[in-house]
Structure 1
Amino acid sequence: MMVILTVYAFLWGRLYLALSGIEGSALSNYSNKALSTILNQQFIIQLGLFTALPMIVENSLEHGFLQAVWDLLTMQLQLSSVFYTFSMGTRTHFFGRTILHGGAKYRATGRGFVVQHKSFAENYRLYARSHFIKAIELGLILIVYASHNAVAKDMFVYIALTISSWFLIASWIMAPFVFNPSGFDWLKTVDDFDDFMNWIWFRGSVFAKAEQSWERWWYEEQDHLRTTGLWGKLLEVILDLRFFFFQYGIVYQLDIASGNKSIIVYLLSWIYVLVAFGIYVVIAYARDRYVAKEHIYYRLVQFLVIILGILVIIALLKFTNFNFMDIFTSLLAFIPTGWGMILICQVLRSFLQSTIL
């Protein structure tokens, strides 16, 4: 668990240094050579070689050094590192959830020899919250870090600095499919995709099970938030606030900000969130109101929204320093913000359901 927490602390710390400009300033300031040297460290220890030393030493004493090295290479070829990294994510997720919210219970680990193919939907239900989403979060951190720091300009330094983190991300995403029998068979992949889409779009009923409906599965994944105490909810909200840091750091890097570092830039960036929410409300209302009997009105609303969006982009291009790359860069800021808002709303769901909203 401490290994995963250390990776989180390391990556979030590097992201803060990159987006705040501290890292770039330290690397460009030759009078601060000590800090520059620390930031330029390639952290070869991240490769995991030193964590394998105790095993190598023990096997060397029992079987000899060459046999110990051969055993290490054999385990790598058997993807033991991938499985171990994936299992670390499982333990960290459930240990962390139990520490925050309680509810410790037995978790089946599946000790049997797996010979049956598991569908993508089933793997998603099992590992989405514990592995896939966390891997996407870490991958997003590394992408933003590569885009907004001076170290990443040197490809070798960036690879040496982040290779273990990318290995962790790849292990968390790919392990369920690598160790899944016939996981890459084309026909089974097509069937899995159809099954997954049916699971996503299943309308269902109050009696639907998590295996049938994505909505039911989602609510079951949040059940621990309904029984947790005040401190558990408070800590969960505090942890979810980390997703808002993407927006806070990236909006100042956009060309439309023109290098302005005022807090007003960050506050104005929330207009984008409000506009996106407003567009969603309008489209949803038009769909519910007109899509069944007056379909032409629904298409008219969509057309007007598109025209309005084009006019806004043209105005920004004319009167500000906005460029099209800002659209894609801002997605790295606002998608995490939206996810953070969803997580916080899940914590406060019982309160929100009791209000008009």
Structure 2
Amino acid sequence: NHLFHGCRVRFHYGHPDIFDRMFHLTRGGISKASKTINLSEDVFAGYNSILRRGHITYNEYIQVGKGRDVGLNQISKFEAKVANGNSEQTLSRDIYRLARRFDFFRMLSCYFTTVGFYFNSLISVVGVYVFLYGQLYLVLSGLQSALLIKAHHQNMKSLETALASQSFLQLGLLTGLPMVMELGLEKGFRAALSDFILMQLQVASVFFTFSLGTKAHYYGRTILHGGAKYRPTGRKFVVFHASFTENYQLYSRSHFVKAFELIFLLIIYHLFRKSDGKFHVMVTYSTWFMAMTWLFAPFLFNPAGFAWHKIVDDWSDWNRWMMNQGGIGVQPEKSWESWWNAENAHLRYSVLSSRIIEVLLCLRFFVYQYGLVYHLKISHDNKNFLVYLLSWVVIISIVGLVKLVNCASRQLSSKHQLIFRFIKLLTFLAVVTSFILLSCLCKLSIMDLIVCCLAFIPTGWGLLLIVQVLRPKIEYYAIWEPIQVIAHAYDYGMGTLLFFPIAVLAWMPIISAIQTRVLFNRAFSRQLQIQPFIIGKTKRR
């Protein structure tokens, strides 16, 4: 048992279960104007007590072991819940009033022990995006080339030296230094160094980089739109495999989409850069590590994540989830359509200012198209704004074509299925023929075709994000059906791209064995190795 003196709260495994109602009525209570702000009710009780000149001490009488989250999905749900709670604290009056009444050093302590850690996580991720979009502007505008030429003529290498030297900070050595110092004081510096090396061998850096993305996403989204909620994590045994569909539902918007965006930025920066190769690697290697971690950490930490029989079942389950019809009463775990609606439900209740900010943030995806269309040979170095406007004809044509196929599907697929399939074949052949003819007439190279894909794919995603904000205004018009079809195609494409390297690694049995041995001790490894035989016997019976 634990007792939180000053708040008169009985703790159960470190969390308050029972509050003294009469005492807290005189201390501001713990209920707020929002039904979701009490996601961190213990923190707000402490805030109220301190603001009324209370004094809180924490006395621990008996220390007991707690059933903690040990699976990645459980940990991510818990971190999402805590990040939501910290964002609600950031928006509350309580933390504002505390900060106004603290002296400077107490204010720093309050910042570090409450919302500061999550705010720093958000700033760290935003800093990566600001840096890469700045580099994107430099390479697409030609400013980087001009700066490097001028620096070469004047024999100045200060810019590259500064950027290359800061890459050592991206290793995370400075952020890991306080931990090493603390372990050194407790165990000795030799033990601290060996523990640090062992953590890297156990891919701890991959886990913490992935957790950084979880904290930043849920903290930033709740700051902007609200929608904090309790997320049950459970205490189940985690030697069992989480399906690809479950991982995609949980991490698609928080990690996978952001990782693909980082990869797009890095590829474009690599294609159009003018700097030295060694300088380029030193500047971007940490971002590549972050992007790959956000993409594949859920499968690396997933038991039997690279077992071939599990991969086959995951692919069937993924296709079934993507193709199932959604609607009223259909849970997000059963259909992509229901999950897509639930994932974007927070935008329905967002205030106008937050929607405007969301639209402004989505405008970054149009930078790709605006910059890249002027690098195609078809533009002939023409910088006229009309070239950019003509590129929108392609996007409008794609939306119209999707609308045409969708109408044909609704009217012909049930009674005239052969005619419908013939129309789909003709449409596909017409698109492919037009694309080939355009490539031949304009003499587009493979590089130009890659640039076209890199230009228009982010634009489509940006449009999807914007129409989600505007959904209450356009949901009942004819344009909404092709938008939903395009959104389905984007998610199916992202899932397929993500699934392919996992399937390739699962095809090699040694990868699954290495993963099991690295992540689990002998008891868990043995359980994972005999589990397929137990399942096989059960099926035969």
| 2:326–2:336 Cα contact (<8 Å) kept | no
Q: Distance in 1 between matches of 2:312 and 2:427?
A: 37
Q: Any idea what the Cα deviations from partners look like across 1:130-161, whole Å, max 9, x if unmatched?
A: 1111111111111111111112x61x332221
Q: CA deviation at 1:40?
A: 5.4
Q: Distance in 1 between matches of 2:204 and 2:389?
A: 47
Q: CA deviation at 1:85?
A: 0.9
Tell me the residue number matched to 2:207. Answer: 83
Is 1:15 aligned to 2:136, yes or no? yes
Q: 1:303 aligns with which of 423, 426, 433?
A: 426
Q: CA deviation at 1:36?
A: 4.2
Is 1:240 aligned to 2:362, yes or no? yes
Tell me the residue number matched to 2:437. Answer: 314
1:30-49 aligned at under 5 Å gives the runs 30=152, 33=156, 36-37=159-160, 41=164, 43-49=167-173
For residue 41 of structure 1, give the secondary structure of its aligned residue in structure 2: helix
| 1:47–1:163 Cα contact (<8 Å) kept | no
Q: 1:65 aligns with which of 164, 189, 192?
A: 189
Is 1:200 aligned to 2:322, yes or no? yes
Q: CA deviation at 1:280?
A: 1.8
Q: 1:305 to 1:76 in 2, by over 3 A?
A: closer
Q: Any idea what the Cα deviations from partners look like across 1:159-188, whole Å, max 9, x if unmatched?
A: 221111111112111111111111111101
Tell me the residue number matched to 1:228. Answer: 350
Q: Distance in 1 between matches of 2:258 and 2:364?
A: 13
Q: CA deviation at 1:323?
A: 3.7
Percentage identity across paired residues of the two chains: 43
Is 1:293 aligned to 2:416, yes or no? yes
AA matched with 2:467? C
Q: Distance in 2 between matches of 1:263 and 1:35?
A: 35
AA matched with 1:284? N
Q: Distance in 1 between matches of 2:250 and 2:431?
A: 42
Tell me the residue number matched to 1:281. Answer: 403
AA matched with 1:3? S
Q: 1:293 to 1:116 in 2, by over 3 A?
A: same
For residue 58 of structure 1, give the secondary structure of its aligned residue in structure 2: helix
Q: Any idea what the Cα deviations from partners look like across 1:228-272, whole Å, max 9, x if unmatched?
A: 100111111111111111111111111111122222221111111
More deviation, 271-280/33-42: 33-42
Tell me the residue number matched to 1:28. Answer: 149
1:109-128 aligned at under 5 Å gives the runs 114-128=238-252
Q: Distance in 1 between matches of 2:352 and 2:325?
A: 33
Q: Distance in 2 between matches of 1:267 and 1:169?
A: 32
Is 1:54 aligned to 2:178, yes or no? yes
| 1:256–1:323 Cα contact (<8 Å) kept | no
Q: Distance in 1 between matches of 2:322 and 2:388?
A: 35
More deviation, 277-286/172-181: 277-286
AA matched with 1:87? S
Q: Distance in 2 between matches of 1:117 and 1:57?
A: 37
More deviation, 322-331/191-200: 322-331
Q: Distance in 1 between matches of 2:309 and 2:438?
A: 49
RMSD (CA atoms): 2.3
Report the TM-score, using the length of structure 1 for normalisation: 0.91
**Structure 1 stretches of 5 or more lacking a match?**
none
More deviation, 6-15/231-240: 6-15
Q: 1:109 to 1:3 in 2, by over 3 A?
A: farther
Q: CA deviation at 1:103?
A: 2.3
| 2:327–2:338 Cα contact (<8 Å) kept | no
Q: Any idea what the Cα deviations from partners look like across 1:185-204, whole Å, max 9, x if unmatched?
A: 11011111111110000124
Q: 1:8 to 1:111 in 2, by over 3 A?
A: farther
Q: Distance in 2 between matches of 1:39 and 1:279?
A: 50
**Structure 2 stretches of 5 or more lacking a match?**
1-120, 480-541
1:183-222 aligned at under 5 Å gives the runs 183-222=305-344
Q: CA deviation at 1:104?
A: 2.5
Q: 1:201 to 1:169 in 2, by over 3 A?
A: same
Count of aligned positions: 354
Q: Distance in 1 between matches of 2:204 and 2:163?
A: 31
| 2:369–2:459 Cα contact (<8 Å) kept | yes
AA matched with 2:187? H
1:89-104 aligned at under 5 Å gives the runs 89-104=213-228
Q: 1:299 to 1:159 in 2, by over 3 A?
A: same
| 1:286–1:298 Cα contact (<8 Å) kept | no
Q: CA deviation at 1:74?
A: 0.7
Q: 1:25 to 1:337 in 2, by over 3 A?
A: same
